[in-house]
Amino acid sequence: MKKTKCRKRNLDFKTKYNYKPIFGFAMNTAEFFKDFKRSFTFIALFFLYRDYIIRFTLFYFSTSCFSPMILADKDPILASLSDKFKERFGRPATFLGRAPGRLEILGNHTDYNEGTVLSVAINRSARVAAAANPDAQDGMACQLYDIKGKSARRFRLDALDRKRPRDWSNYIKGIVCEFNARGYSIPAFDMIVTGDVPLSAGMSSSAALEMAVVKVLDALSDSKLGWLEQAKIGQGSENHYVGANTGLMDQLSSLMGREGQLIYSDFRSFEVKNVPIPTGTSFVVANSNVKHNLTNEYNERREACEEAARIIGVKALRDVTPAMLEKAKSRLSDVVYRRAKHVVGEIDRVEKGSQALAAGDIKAFGELMSISHDSSRYNFENSCDELDTLVEIGRTLPGFIGARLSGGGFGGITVHLVEADAAQKYSDVLAERYLAKTGVNAQVMILTAGDGAELIRA
């Protein structure tokens, strides 16, 4: 009978292990136990490092080999970008990037005051597809195309100082500048962009675009930046190129979101953690359809906060308690005092809100949201009649828990925390009554918490 050979050794199985069947089992030699020990060691190492193995596997599949079928099921808009890129530029994209918009739940204008914020990444995202273009004119020409706006832009990597006022391409050019400032060389590239985050509505469509672009350019340049540096590149684009003196909350929220979770961010320590969203609740978001460009208004508010901190003698308003602010009131102008009162109060409300969520006290959390809106209305003055109307209507509706403006303000959106069973009816009535009072159609939607930004090989 032909014997089964053992690999690399001219021994059959029975000879190798001195196999003798006893009661249906094998009585084995020391060499069997030596092989068993090797196997046991491998299994033990797997369980010891299983978290790292799982994380690496998930990262590898999310960035390197998402099959078209899986990607199409997960994000059909992103999946279609590869074909649209090829139609536009005649060659395949190398990388796809997706990054969500965000809702600010508590902590209005606290990020640049080194405070804390509770936010959430939403299931609406910016999406980009890109590839390096080695055939670009002298290696410097970049091409952009916005699918929704049907607008094309070209710029040169050696002429980034040529800005187009109030143009969407400035966000991308600013990101290239931020990579360059850190010593990373971005190759000439072509890119198409699209998305479903409402523009100028307080859901940070700009940060969503920035983080999707950062993910892709990080890969094209092989920069391998960490999440905090990626967020700072997006912020730098707005601060240094676009001219909006914004904080870091929008970019962090877009990067660090997790399905079904809020994001707690500390903008002094840069601690970021996820907080479960209470069960039985939904976020109803109402877009007032009042557009805003907040560059000038935002800068004025930030300057007032910095002035208050300087007069009180602290590094940032994060270091000011409500009692300290009241003691210093006589040294502050009325406007500066009210701006500071809003921010100091918001930082306090974030901490109280986190405690309420931990205790399962959703009613207390909703009340803090409503107090936050009143402070925006009277102290920070970044609300407007349309936002106030949406909040006031919400307070009269069944299922209401809390509501406030979200984001920079001066138009945009209100976010309403409502009982999940009442969310659809709440949305319908809110839209109807807003139209009756203002003559404006509000875009009202029920949004969910989504995952943060991701990079995918096309």
User: Within this chain, do residues 248 and 329 fall inside the same structural domain, yes or no?
Assistant: no
Q: What's the CATH number where 224 sits? A: 3.30.230.10
Q: Dig out the tokens for 409 from the structure.
A: 């303000």
Residue 239 and residue 285 share a domain? no
What's the confidence (pLDDT) of residue 327? 97
Q: Where are the beta strands (DSSP E) in 111-256?
A: 116-132, 141-146, 151-156, 189-195
Give the domain CATH number at 318. 3.30.70.890
The single residue of 161, 250, 388, 421 carrying the catalytic annotation is 250
12 touches 5 (CB < 8 A): yes
Q: Number of structural domains, the chain?
A: 3
- 200 domain residue, yes or no: yes
The verdict on 82 and 182 lying in the same domain is yes
Assigned domain for 219 exists: yes
Q: Does a structural domain hold residue 458?
A: no
**Residues 320, 435 within the same domain:** yes
Q: Is residue 376 part of a domain?
A: yes
Predicted pLDDT at 71: 53
Same structural domain, 423 and 294: yes
**Mean pLDDT of successive 10-residue stretches along the chain, which has 458 residues:** 43 44 46 58 68 52 43 74 94 96 95 96 95 85 95 94 90 97 96 90 90 97 96 96 89 94 95 91 93 72 96 97 96 98 98 94 96 97 95 98 92 94 98 96 94 93
Let me know if residue 269 belongs to a domain.
Answer: no
CA distances from 93 to 84, 136, 156, 317 (A): 9, 15, 20, 45
Annotation says 161 is catalytic: no
If asked whether residues 306 and 436 sit together in one domain, one would say yes
Task: Give the pLDDT confidence score for residue 244 in this predicted structure.
Answer: 85
Same domain for 233 and 315?
no
Does 315 share its domain with 407?
Answer: yes
Q: Say whether both 94 and 192 belong to one domain.
A: yes
- Residue 92 in any domain: the answer is yes
Helix (H, G, I), strand (E, B) or coil at 201: coil
Cα–Cα dist 153/130, whole Å: 14
- Note whether residue 199 is domain-resident: yes
Residue 68 lies in a domain: no
Task: Mark whether 405 and 343 lie in a shared domain.
Answer: yes
| Half-sphere exposure at residue 348, Cβ-oriented, CA atoms within 13 angstroms | 16
Give me the pLDDT at residue 417, please: 97
- Interatomic CA distance for residues 32 and 344, integer angstroms: 70
Q: What are the Cα distances from residue 457, in Å, to 39, 63, 64, 82, 94?
A: 35, 6, 5, 10, 6
CA 107 to chain centroid, in Å, comes to 16
Q: Name the residue range of residue 355's domain.
A: 274-447
Residue that terminates a domain, selected from 256, 286, 309? 256
Domain co-membership, 251 together with 282? no
Q: Is 262 helix (H, G, I), strand (E, B) or coil?
A: strand
Clarify whether residues 156 and 21 are in a common domain.
no
The span from the CA of 51 to the CA of 54, in Å, is: 5
